[in-house]
């Protein structure tokens, strides 16, 4: 009997945290993860506020918001890791996890983004900064949201809530 290899999940990929430490997505198994490609000089940069609000609202129930800086769209993330971290902390009080800057497009794209593109197809790939992928607790790619979709939108909140454990009964 030939055993086929299971299809990859988001938990098969790893990033490097903005502080240089390994950041395997397997460490978030059992939790929904909102993966967002970010940039400091973009018209969508104020979405950091909404992302921080989601993190503060849902992290106690397991949500992880993961910021993934990229300079792929319009050169809008020119800084190094220290500059990006400082910008996010000073301007938006970001304390959710962030990765080092990565490529999202082309042959040098981070493996997670190549995998996600294969799952969602051409319509679901990032076309600009602040594209959002929602990873289900089991590592499946549960949903995606374009840059223009606010982190505070009802569609994003509904999708997140669907992946969270049921709140305790009072």
Residues marked active site are found at: 91
Residue with tokens 């769209």: 73
Residue closest to 92 by CA, chosen among 146, 44, 155, 128:
44
As a whole number of angstroms, the distance between CA 66 and CA 17 comes to 10
As a whole number of angstroms, the distance between CA 98 and CA 96 comes to 7
Bridge partners of 14, per DSSP, are 24
What separation in angstroms does the CA of 91 have from each of 58, 73, 104, 152? 21, 21, 24, 19
């Amino acid at each position: 009997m030939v055993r086929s290899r299971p299809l990859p999940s988001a938990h098969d990929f790893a990033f490097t945290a903005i502080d240089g430490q390994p950041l395997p997505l397997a460490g978030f198994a059992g939790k929904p993860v909102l993966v967002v490609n970010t940039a400091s000089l973009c018209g969508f940069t104020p979405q950091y506020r909404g992302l921080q609000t989601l993190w503060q609202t849902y992290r106690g129930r397991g949500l992880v918001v993961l910021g993934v800086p990229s300079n792929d769209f319009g050169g809008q993330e020119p800084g190094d890791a220290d500059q990006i971290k400082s910008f996010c902390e000073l301007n938006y009080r970001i304390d959710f996890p962030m990765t080092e800057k990565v490529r999202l497009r082309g042959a040098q794209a981070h493996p997670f983004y190549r995998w996600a593109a294969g799952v969602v197809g051409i319509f679901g790939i990032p076309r600009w900064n602040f594209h959002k992928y929602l990873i289900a607790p089991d590592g499946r790619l549960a949903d995606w949201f374009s840059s223009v979709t606010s982190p505070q939108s009802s569609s994003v909140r509904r999708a997140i809530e669907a992946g969270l454990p049921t709140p305790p009964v009072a």
